[in-house]
Structure 1
Amino acid sequence: MESNGPVTIAELIRKAREARGLSQTRLAKELATMSGRHTINRDLISHWERGAQVPRAETRQWLSVFFDLPRERFEEAAALSRRRMKTGNAVVAHNAPTKPGAVRRAQGTPELLPVLRSRVQAGVLAAVLLNPDRWFSLSELGETAGAALASVDKEVQLLETAGIVSGRTEGTMRLYHASHLGPGLAPLVQLLRLSYGVPQVIGEEFGSVRGACRLIVGGAWAQRFAGVPGPAPDSIDLVVVTELGRPADQDELNLAAGRAELRLKRPVRWHLSGIETDRTLTMPAHWDGEPIVEVRMVGPVGTVRGREDFAAGRAAILQLLESGQLTLTNGPDARSEPALELAEQHVIAAEQIATDAPQSAHLLLAEAGELIATGLLAQQGLRVDPTAHPNTAGNAVTAQFGHQYSHVVQLRERSTALHVPANRLSADEARISTGTVRALLVEARSRSSRLPLFDAKSDSTA
């Protein structure tokens, strides 16, 4: 049975079974006879292959014997599966600790942020506080925290009592999200972003880099993430894997790293690695034998969108229309070019003064970002109501077109903070913001030419 790198226990069992030409029912009968465990049935095999359950150590031994595969492969696959269950958007892809005692147990103090009580608490807090606009089910929180629903439910109840999360009921499902984030929670949010927020930030900032196909983090952060004790990481070591024959854009990588550094408050050191298959992936030599973490990429939403992506974006626009924050328009107002032209002028002006007057440049860039969002909405016959929330345009285009447009809101919030005299902005930050808005403007111009008027009565995609 061929394999192009580490696989989960679900993938390993399925591929081994298919290589033997066995059905799930037949495999269950063979294993039950060999092991003497008559509780092994087709449903259990299905659970294994769907990743819903990891076979016990004794059963993995029988699987190794039955398929004539090394026991180590099943142990590595089991470790990878457990990590996939526990870490949400990131997974320990290689060298996950497997020996008893090598890491603290799953419910123990999290190495990434030892001030928290448990990994469950850390996972739940990171999910809700780093994504304050999103509602989570208990199952989703359980996947992120890597814990049983009972443990997650207990943690959520404590957080709800403390006023940190709020809940609502939809049908038979209970959903949770962050309560109003007052000043008392701001330091906790920052701590979570600097620790458990690394995969989210890296995935968002590097996910839209052209030519990048995988993101892998190593070094001290990956070790802490995998549960290996040690000091807090002072930098993030990242390998950006590129598609064969399609090199990543260096300028985009530098801008992504700069934005990530601003959000994570520490250096992000990136390296490139070309890849054809997992077998040819080359990691830095000093990572040998150490855990490395693969991060899910959060890329831009393309012109051809999946049903779920389209439905989410459309639902957001309909909700904004229903609440009166957006209104429908047509005729000469349904054009993006006036707003995009003005945004272009703002960017040019910001580029000219970024070195000598970075704060003034940033204010221009924040306005340019708002104009870009407004222009994309105008092209669809949508207009922001004057009484709407200041983030309405940015949130709307982010919901429609992907994470890269969340920079509109980030720029606006940063410019608001600059009104406080104690806050300062460096020339480097202004330079990064200039490149970000320039790239956003190019993308918006390309996209706007293909946007139809928004039809509130139709479910068809653009």
Structure 2
Amino acid sequence: MEVDFNQPISQVIRAARRRRQLSQYSLARELATVSGRPTITRDLVARWERGHQIPRLGTRQWLAVVLQIPQERLDVAAAAARRRSRLGHAVVTENAPATPGPARRAQGTPALLPVFRSRVQAGILAATLLNPDRSFSLTELAEHAGSSLASVDKENKLLEKAGILSSRREGTIRLMRAAGDRGPLVGPLTELMRLTYGVPQVVGEEFGCVPGVARIVLGGVWADRFAGIAGPSPESVELMIAAPHGVNLDSRALTTAARRTEQRLKRPVHFSVVPLEQDIDTLKIPRQRPGHPVVEVAPIRPRVAPQIAGVELDGHEVVRRLMRTGQLELVSGPASASQPFLQLASKHAAAAEHLTDASPDSAFVLLAQAAQLIGSGLLAQQGLRASAAAPDHVVGTAVAAQFGHQFAQVEMLRRRARELDAPTSRDSHVVPAEAKTYLGTVRSLLAAAAEVMPKLGLFS
């Protein structure tokens, strides 16, 4: 077989996948099955095919099996991709910076946020702090940071000692995540990462909520810094949105996505809309200089897509005030899925029912937690959540202002549960009748939330 030594691995993988008539999802699923690595996802396959990331040697061995091509072909193509990188084509990973040539290999000071000592450290913090509800294996963090397992392991240990990350083991795998106790450094660092390396995630989440968006490309000064080109901090975000031929994107939905992105990133957002089939070299990205790097972002779809048109809420200004003071923040993508909150609240209520006579105190604690979950679910449906530094009453305050006096029970139950934390107090015990009464209260909140949820849209 004649081998083109200049063909990058992105093209080889894409051609072989199409020859086998596999979608990116199907390829990811087969790879995860044969390799025993559930961390291989469609997004990772997409990054390989866009040239944003080069599969590691171990992964190429499994790719050869699934794609039914010689591993040597993949190894040659990987070397070609690295040569292209050294010649000036930035290889970009999803939440970590990349820069051509020696600067990337040296993992020097990041141009996007030079207060960090290395791109490895910045990539790890971006992945973990911007996704606080999930854990990452060392392999996943190495993929995010574009570095070796040894370098990632070294940085993880330092960050864990500083109280920024925490770890646990599942068998032989060590998993890392943002510190569960949300120490004093975590909140400020998370904000820094959101405003710098978090731009692709925020843009992908917000514009991923717009039906029909198939491709997002970032450019401008931010893309320069992300690729390692030194210079002043980006003052705005420039991007291009692509939709398939014949698909008309909802202008109101795009405006809402841009406004929410601006609020989360605290800088202006400029975008243009082009056909999906347009060549990347001719993209019309606002304020993009010819020859400068661009970064492609995968749209992040919400698990349950909130509607753009919804009910008008009286508590709009209350929520605005909570956002201005940093007590509420905008979220999107998987973090805006409301059903998991309601499902867990329902389970808490069911468990509490069995405890109302035998242990009414325990039943009441479960009911108070269920009420908080209901409130959090209503906020999530609007793309909102309490910030890490927010006081405990924020969820109750927000939903009571928006949905009326019935939801004031969320905060009342929380306060009553706090009294149970002092066992010596005369108010530290709940009688069975009280527990049964509030079981009915929580179930009525569940019913009310389920009724209003489909009518809610993204808060903007």
TM-score range, shorter chain: 0.5 to 0.7
Which residue matches 1:11?
Answer: 10
How far residue 267 of structure 1 moved from its aligned partner, in angstroms, is 0.8
Question: How far off its partner does 1:91 sit?
Answer: 8.8
* Matching residue of 1:88: 94
Change (3 A) 1:140 1:359: same
The letter of the residue matching 1:194 is: L
Partner of 2:271: 270
Query: What amino acid is the match of 2:314?
Result: A
Alpha-carbon distance in structure 1 between the residues aligned to 2:211 and 2:109 = 38
Give the deviation of 1:396 after TM superposition. Answer: 6.8
**In the alignment, structure 1 residue 407 sits paired with structure 2 residue 383:** yes
Aligned twin of 1:445: 454
SS at match of 1:176: strand
Q: Partner letter of residue 368 of structure 2?
A: T
Point out where structure 2 has 5 or more consecutive residues left out of the alignment: 1-5, 20-59, 332-336, 350-365, 396-448
In structure 1, how many angstroms separate the alpha carbons of the residues matched to 2:174 and 2:167?
7
Residue in structure 2 matched with residue 427 of structure 1 by the alignment: none
Query: Counterpart amino acid of 2:11?
Result: L
Matched to 2:367, the amino acid is P
Is 1:130–1:189's contact at 8 Å kept on the other side of the alignment?
yes
- Once residues 16 and 85 of structure 2 are traced to their aligned partners in structure 1, the CA distance between those partners, rounded to angstroms, is 15
Q: Which residue of 2 aligns with 1:193?
A: 194
What is the aligned partner in structure 1 of residue 160 from structure 2? 160
Q: Which residue of 2 aligns with 1:242?
A: 243
Task: Tell me, in whole angstroms, the C-alpha distance in 2 between the residues paired with 1:51 and 1:177.
Answer: 33
Q: After TM superposition, list the pairs within 5 Å mapping 1:15-414 onto structure 2.
A: 46-47=70-71, 54-55=78-79, 60=80, 75-76=83-84, 83-84=91-92, 87-88=93-94, 98=100, 100=101, 105-179=105-179, 180-276=181-277, 278=279, 282-284=283-285, 286-301=288-303, 347-350=312-315, 359=321, 373=338, 377=342, 385-388=366-369, 392-393=373-374, 405=381, 407-410=383-386
Give the aligned partner of residue 26 of structure 1.
none
- Aligned sequence identity (%): 37
Secondary structure of the equivalent of 2:111?
A: coil
Compute the displacement of 1:387 (Å). Answer: 2.5
- Post-superposition shift, 1:259? 1.1
Tell me how far 1:148 sits from its aligned partner. 0.4
Answer yes or no: is the 8 Å Cα contact 1:273–1:281 preserved in 2.
Answer: no
Deviation at 1:110? 0.7
Distance 1:148 1:164 in 2: 21
Q: Is the 8 A contact 2:204 2:299 kept in 1?
A: yes
Structure 1: segments with no counterpart, 5+ residues: 1-6, 21-41, 61-72, 304-339, 399-403, 420-439, 448-462
Aligned to 2:417: none
Q: Report Cα offsets for 1:186-223 as digits up to 9, x if no partner.
A: 22221111101111111111111112111111000000
Distance 2:450 2:235 in 1: 34
Asked if structure 1 preserves the Cα contact closer than 8 Å seen for 2:213 and 2:243, the reply is yes
Matched residue SS, 2:314: helix
Residues 376/387 of structure 1: CA separation in 2 closer, same or farther (3 Å cut) = closer
Give the whole-Å Cα distance in 1 for the aligned partners of 2:150 and 2:89.
Answer: 20
TM-score normalised over the length of structure 2: 0.57
Distance 1:287 1:137, change over 3 A: same
Please say if residues 304 and 338 of structure 2, whose CA atoms lie closer than 8 Å, have aligned partners that are also in contact. no
Matched AA of 1:88 = E
